[in-house]
Amino acid sequence: MFLFRGGSDMQQASPSDQQANMMKWKVWIDDIAAKGKLHGGEPLSYGAGKVLSGRTMKMTDGPFAEGKEIVGGYLIVDAKDINEAAELGKGCPIFENDGSVEVRVVMEM
């Protein structure tokens, strides 16, 4: 699983920038799909968010702290190991906006 952090908030960008950016994501994800390795995933809104925490389920508003740490979405790919997954992650357009991709293995339980 890829967790995307940081980058820029596309909802603030002009429509044409938004579209150009989405096209880059599409090209990247398309490529993964063409290899038959796309499983699924969704972008997450930078807008309203809530955090429930602790035993009391204390509710606080998000988004949270530094823009760099906000999770902007996730994508699940089929890879034989973490190295192959990381290799697939290298094409992600988020790096152009100084974001990061955290690559994790979905645990088999």
Interaction of residue 30 with other proteins, rule CB under 8 A: yes
Largest CA distance in the chain: 46
Looking at 13, 17, 35, 39, which residue binds other proteins (CB under 8 A)?
A: 39
Interaction of residue 43 with other proteins, rule CB under 8 A: yes
Looking at 15, 40, 47, 54, which residue binds other proteins (CB under 8 A)?
A: 40
CA distance linking residue 52 with residue 48, whole number of Å = 14
Least distance (Å) from other proteins to the CB of residue 104?
Answer: 18
Interaction of residue 25 with other proteins, rule CB under 8 A: yes
Identity of the amino acid at 14: S
What DSSP line would sit under 32-80, residue for residue? HHHTT-EEEEEE--SS--EEEETTTTEEEE-S-S-GGG-EEEEEEE--S
Query: Which residues of this protein are in contact with other proteins, per CB under 8 A?
Result: 19, 22-23, 25-26, 29-30, 33, 38-43, 73, 75
